[in-house]
Amino acid sequence: MRWRDHYTKGTLIFGHRGASAYAPMNTIPAFELAYQQGADGIELDVHLSKDGQLIVLHDFTVDHTTNGTGMANTMTLAELKQLDAGYKFGAQFQGTRIPTLDEVFEAVGGKLLINVEIKSITEDTDGVEQVTADCIRRHGLMSTVIVSSFNPLALQRFRSILPQVAIGYLYAPDYTFYPEVMDTLPHEALHPYHESIDLALVEKARQAEQVINTWTVNDPAQAVSLRAMGVQGIITDKPDVIRQALA
């Protein structure tokens, strides 16, 4: 099965960092809740730890979502696992840990499509593309994972390692990074910010046989409008709300 074949049942809903309106982002509870709320998939972010382990975390630092401080890539996995990734969200999530991508795949890899965003802002690689490819291959999820990034160079490197896995180009009006690379890099999906979408973009993607997964849409009326335009995937903090809107 190709990645785009999953879209035959209609517009898909992806939990943005899980059901992140209701549970701490990029944690197992948030991903499991997205599934319970009827999401078709989840979106998450990956970095490498100091000792080369693939962790699921949005920022390059741990400051925003945990009780720790500092750059994630300066800490070992053991050090990162000591941090509380849930206490800021409420007492019921106290003690929630930063997961590895392996742990996420083990928890929900058989239930959900997974959009793995590689966090990269440099021309050179730290090896994250290879480790991500190895993890996807190890779990046998080549047809249910799509790899996205704002960094076309990271997508280019990943594609050369594991061409069987779909890739999606993330971009926003005020943030692009070597966009010309995408002109010659085949990619199965576009991941634009929702305000960037118009009928011309939808038609361009259709002609290129690309799907559009847009972020981050929490307004029900907007979700309905985007579906009517032909957008195939909606990434949201509130899978339950958007599921009800698209029912």
Which residues carry out catalysis? 16, 58
Closest by alpha carbon to 146, among 41, 16, 56, 15? 41
Cβ count within 10 A of residue 164 = 12
Question: Structure tokens of 106?
Answer: 């083990």
Closest by alpha carbon to 147, among 52, 29, 45? 45
Distance CA 241, CA 138 (A): 34
